[in-house]
Amino acid sequence: MSTDTPPASDGDSLTEAELQARIEELEETVADLKADDEQKKMTIVATQGTFDMAYPPLILASTAAAFGWDVVVFHTFWGLDILHEEKSGNLQLSAVGNPNMPMPNALAALPGMDRMATRMMEKRIDDNGTATIDELIELSLDQGVELQACQMTIELMDYDEDDFHDDVTVGVGAATALQHMAESDIQLLV
Amino acid sequence: MSEAFDIAETLDVKGASCPMPVVKTKQAIDDLAEGSVLEVLATDSGSMSDIEGWAEGTNGVALLEQVDEGDVYKHYVEKTD
């Protein structure tokens, strides 16, 4: 944009009305920029697909949306399972290598232990009035959270674009995620 | 206390835990007219801090009062401009 002062001879080439219109236009631009600046943005990258690791990104995303923030959750690798229509309601907790489990690894490694640990956690979640994964997905989407499924890992995992919940964004990659991250006030890797 | 406000609607989120009290409050506020007051009834003790923080960080809402009644937490949120 030129900041040159127009020559004096052209001084009256802009009428007062034109100047007024120009000022209003600039004021509008400033107001738009301010509004853009006020709305916080958050990007979460969700890489894990276990039952416990599905909660933090969804809880933060749905709450951030309640603040009126612009939120993107980019799901990649095992994080894709959170958005998978058949798998999201059936995510498992790992009993092995989890020091928070009240059982030794040797026992946790027995067949069916992951399932049992998951059932126990599901019961606790239900008793506590905590939402299910599917409820949080629906809540997030309803509030305008953009849940993105990484295209490269969709293909890597041999999933189909139709396998995901309705309104999940597919056909996006790292560049799309980075673009939103660059503009975000908050970026989290889960 | 709560009688001081003209309550337009009551949202009952008793039994629900984080993030439901905040998210449901936001959704209920969206449906109200400007100047209306929403009463939120919650049993989640975290809702005292969460709804306060949410109201502080969100445009167009004002937290009027929070009441700890022991078994239930009452929140009064006004929809502003």
pLDDT in tens, A12-64: 678 899 999 999 999 999 988 877 777 899 999 999 999 999 999 999 999 99
CB contact under 8 A, B17 and A130: yes
Closest alpha carbon within chain B to A60: B19
| Token couple for A122 | 């599901």
Separation of alpha carbons A161 and A150, rounded Å: 10
Q: What does the domain layout of chain B look like in residue ranges?
A: 2-79
Contact A190, A48 (CB under 8 A): yes
**Looking at domain B2-79, which CATH architecture does it have?**
2-Layer Sandwich (3.30)
CATH C-level class of A40-92+132-189: alpha beta
By three-state DSSP, how is residue B38 classified?
strand
Whether residue A10 has pLDDT greater than 70: no
Predicted complex: ipTM over 0.90: no
If phi over 0 gives left and psi between -120 and 50 gives alpha, with beta otherwise, what is residue A167?
A: left
Of residues B7, B10, B18, B35, which has the active-site annotation? B18
Q: pLDDT tens-digit profile of A141-185? A: 999 999 999 999 999 999 999 999 999 999 999 999 999 999 999
A155 and A52 in contact (C-beta within 8 Å)? no
> Which of B20, B44, B52, B75 to probe the A interface (max A CBs under 10 A)?
B20
Asked if B23's CB is within 8 angstroms of A65's CB, the reply is yes
Cross-sheet strand order for the sheet of B73-79 = B7-13, B37-42, B73-79, B61-68
Backbone φ and ψ for B39, nearest 5 degrees, come out as: -100, 130
